[in-house]
Each structure stands twice: as C-alpha cells, then as structure tokens.
Chains A and B, each alone.
Chain A
Amino acid sequence: MIVTHGPNPFSFYAVVLVCGLGLGFVAGLPIVDGTLSELHVPGGFAMFVGSTTGMVGTYLALLMVILASRLPALERMLGQHGVIHWHRLLAPWTIALITVHAIFLSVAYAEVAKRGVLKEVGVIISKFPNMVSATVALGIMVGIGLISLPRIRSRIPRESWWLIHLLMYLALFISVGHEIVLGPSFVGHPLAKFVWALAWLLAAALVVTYRIGFPIYRSVLHRLRVVEVRPEGPGVVSVILEGRHLDRLAISGGQFFEWRFMTSKMWWQAHPFTVSALPKPPYIRLTVKGVGNFSRALAHVKVGTPVAVEGPYGSFTAFAMRRGRVLLIAGGVGVTAARSLLEDLPLKSRPIVVLRASREEDLVLADEVEELVRIRKGVVHRLVGGRETVRLDQITKLVPDMAKRDVFISGPEDFVRDASSMARRAGVDAKALHQEAYSI
C-alpha cells in the first residue's frame, strides 16, 4: 500500500499569500496602466471601474479554474468540503464583477463616442476585435449564474446542470482574446501580458493534467470492472469492482472517487461516491444510496461493466486528525466514509461511532462498523428514529469528552450542517471538526 500524506499546515498560508498578492496585483494594474489618470475625461470613471472589475473578476475566475483542477496538494489542503465552499463563495463574485465590467465599459465607450449606450454596444460588438466571442462568453457566464441560483438549480437534474456549467471553460477560453487585445492593462505592457498568459496556460495545464490526463492514466492502469452488485438495505447497493495494481492505489479511508460507469447511457457522467472499504487487491468497493437517477440505475449495472475513475479525492481522512481521540458521526449512507476511515485508525484508538438513521433497516454496513470498532476497543451508538424522537443533542450526553476529540461528520448536507452546529455548541474546535456532505 502506497503511503498517502496529509496537508502541510504552512502550505495553506503560502497559498493564501500567493492568492492575496495576485489579487492586489490585478487590482493595482488599472492604476498603473494609466486608466486612473484618465478619470477626469469623459467616460474615464466608467473606464476605470470597468477595467478594475474586469481584472479582479477574471482573476477570481482564474482561481476558480485552479480550484477546479483538483490539484492534489490543494485537494488535500481544502478537502471536498473546502473546495465546494470556495467554489460557491467565489462563483457569484466572479460572474457579478465580469458583468459589471461589461456594463461600465459599454457606458465608458458610449461617453467617449458620444453615442447612446445601446448603440455603442452594437458598435463594440461589431467593430472591436474579439468582442463577438467575449459577448457570447458573457452570455454563457450570466446564463450559468442564473441556472446556478438555488431556486432554479433545484429544478434541473444534477447531471444536466453539471454539463451546462462546464461551458464556463469555453466562456473563459473565448474571452481571453479580448482581454489581451483590448485590455488597457495588457496592451503596450508586454510583461503584464506575458504573466497573464502564463498564469492562464498553467491553470489550463493543471485542469488538463489532473481532470483528464491522470484519470485516463489511472483508469487504464487499474482497468476496473464490476464483479458484483450487492443490496445492502432499502435503496442501498454496494458495487464491488475488480482491477489490476490496486496495491499501487494511494487512497485513504474516507476518500472518494468520481466514478464513471462505461455503459452507453452512463459513460458521460461521473459521480462522487465514497469508497466504503479500502482496496483488498484485486477488489475495491463503493456503496451507493439510490437517490438520483444515476445512483438508482447503479442497482442494475451489469457484471463486467468497465469503470473509469477520477481521484481519489477528499481530506476526510485520518490525516486530518488534530487530537488523539476520534468521534465519527454518520448519517444514513454517510456511514460509507466512516466505515473506510475506521480502517485507517490504529488499534486501541478507542473510537466512538454514532450511526444515525430514521429506520433500523437504513443502518447499512452497521455490522462491519461494529466489527472494526470492536477490534479498536471502541463503542458504537445507534440513533434510530424520526427527527422528532431522536435529537442530535443526545450525542452530547453519549460522548461527554466530545470537545477533546476529532469529530468526523458524514452524511446528507443538512445532517452534516445540524450535527456540526451541535458539535460546535459542545465545544468542538473548528480545526477538529471534519465534514463530508453528500449533496443530493
């Protein structure tokens, strides 16, 4: 088994430092390039605002692309939870700033040319170089922003939304032209132009390497195939895969892969599912609850189906531990992460595990968890029943020393949220709180 390693605490600050320097740099460029000295002329103010928002918005987009590349070092540092958190935090700002950029520059150019704004927009799109593609890109970005609003997104199937939102890569790609050719910060500033182009090329290289290159390499290397689909409980199945060289797979308990089942209907979508048992070469297992179309279809996947993988991802691992003792709280199918994480805990670590389910039959893999905990001299608590009868605050009484433990919480999003606030109320430090939420 290849040894995986956890994040370096200093690297987080190094990354934050670099991100901050870059942000300051792009925010300062419109001042350096002379746009500020034009403030007093017609359209000068709008030009300055438009340039600055464009620079900062596009810089945030650059950070988001790097984030989306799932660079292993970043992935270990932030974890799935952190990656999604930052993605959701940055996305609205990126789209909003770029939209403001377009509006203000249209106004600025209209003021200079002494035309109406709408008329000037027509001139900009038809006469300026690379502005047709930039306008299309803006349309795509705003469109993606709209379908990502929670109210609208909840009405779109996850797979369709995910595919549409990939168009952001296209939008960013086709908008580079107008930045380089028209951007006051780049025209006549070869160094700035070079650095900007280099940063985007590197970001693109990261995405191609880690989102396309590595997954293909791993999939070809391991050649995973379905050997068994086993029902675990109501709507829950385990899929057991067989592959080559699984001893060379660097995976920690609690991590997940993006799985791609190569059937005619499912090959185009990859879905994140936790590995519910660490590999026992030549086998590896994932356990899935049938909530979406895809995970329901998995129950009927044929033996022999090839499976491509991307990952492993996630920092919900034993490496995240800051304390000596552990409390694992698993809601529903979140037991999968707790189950494989337990495997990485040393013997005599005396873990406490809380399994939460609304019905007895929903407690899947409970026997396996009991066994793993028994070997480690720990305790399993089962909390079964509706939300009205079983309150998460009960865990505070079950685990009086919670504040001195690392608390790992896995399960559906709202469960993780509720359990986390319970843990914080019980005095658990943010650094000792680890979350793995499954969005449905």
Chain B
Amino acid sequence: MKGTVTLFGATIAGFFGVLTLHVPSSHSSPVSKVTTPTQSTTTQSTTTSSTPQQPPSGSTTTTTTTTTTTTTTTTVPVVSSNVNGSATGPLENYSYGQLAVKVTITNNRIVDLTVESLQTLESYSQQLEQYVVPILKNEVMQAQSTKINAVSGATYTSDAYAYSIQGALDKLHFK
C-alpha cells in the first residue's frame, strides 16, 4: 500500500513538475485566435478567398483584438518614414519544425512575403503548410501587419509565421 501511495504521489509530483518546468504559452502570440472579430474594419474590396475554416462572407476581414503599437482603423499603417527594402525574419521554432519568412517592403507597403527557410519535420505539417501559408500570406498582405487570425488547426504555424515576419519588420523599422 505504501508503494501505491509513493507511486501515486510521485506521478503527481512528476506531472506538475513538468508543467512548472514549462508553462504552456498563453496568449502572448501576436496571432489572434478569435474567430469572431471584436472590431472589424473592412479592407479594400478584396476578400480573402480561400479560408475554408471560415464562412465566405463577412468574417474574412482582418481584425485585431489587441493593439499595442498600431491603430487598426486603417489598413495602411501609420508610418513615420518611408520604408523600402527586404529582410528575412528570424528562424522560428515551432512544434513541427522551423520557418523563416522574408519580407519585402516598397513604399511602406508589404508587397511580398516568401518563406525562405522551411524545415518541416513532419509531413503532416508540410501538407498543412501548403494550404496554410498562402492564407496567412494573404492575411498579412491585407492587414499590412502581423495582426492576423490564426488559421484554425495550424496555430503553431501561424504563430511562427507571424513572429518571423514581425522580426523582419522590426529589422526594417517598419511599423
């Protein structure tokens, strides 16, 4: 009986031990995981087309739930100086691999995003990427920021994508 108690106690200790070792990342990610926008601003007339997780009408607008640096009432970000150039963001580790995104900016607009380095350890993730990255790209291009909705079912990828872009934008002093 003492053995059972010891085993049980140790299991609980190990369980919470590993939890305290590494608390699951809370909502510190730049990507909004909310599907219903709290504040929606219509972008130009284009609607992002192929987000299968979302109904085609209405909710495909780019939204933000948190605003720290930018105001989100306009799609064109407020800038202090004219930014041109391109930079590659840091290699972001996520659960299924690593990716780094190269951002090109012309006249204060994000004009191109390419995934420079994609090291996917999981084929599952690869197939996910093929469908996720274009959606994310579209969202960022429209929002002109990394404040985008995560693609449902691909939160890790969305997070890593957004982080890497944010890193590149910081390098370019783009706000």
Contacts and interface: CB of A to CB of B under 8 A. Distances in A.
A128 B96 CA distance: 12
11 contacts: A13-B2, A18-B10, A24-B15, A24-B16, A24-B18, A28-B17, A124-B124, A127-B127, A129-B121, A188-B93, A188-B94
B95 A187 contact: yes
Contacts of B17: 21, 24-25, 28
Interface string B8-41: 1111111111110111110000000000000000
B93 A23 contact: no
Interface of B is mostly: helix
B15 to A, nearest CB: 3
Interface stretch (A37-45, A327-335, A417-425, A432-440): A37-45
Contacts, number: 118
B20 to A, nearest CB: 10
A43 B19 contact: no
Interface of A is mostly: helix
Nearest to B4: A16
Given A32-B24, A37-B155, A184-B96, A25 B127 contact: no
Interface range for A? 35 or more
Contact of A112 (B16, B25, B124): B124
B80 interface: no
Given A34-B24, A34-B95, A37-B24, A20 B11 contact: yes
B148 to A, nearest CB: 16
B131 to A, nearest CB: 9
B155 A22 contact: no
A90 interface: no
A19 interface: yes
A24 B15 CA distance: 4
Contacts of B153: 38, 41-44, 112
B5 to A, nearest CB: 9
B77 interface: no
B122 interface: yes
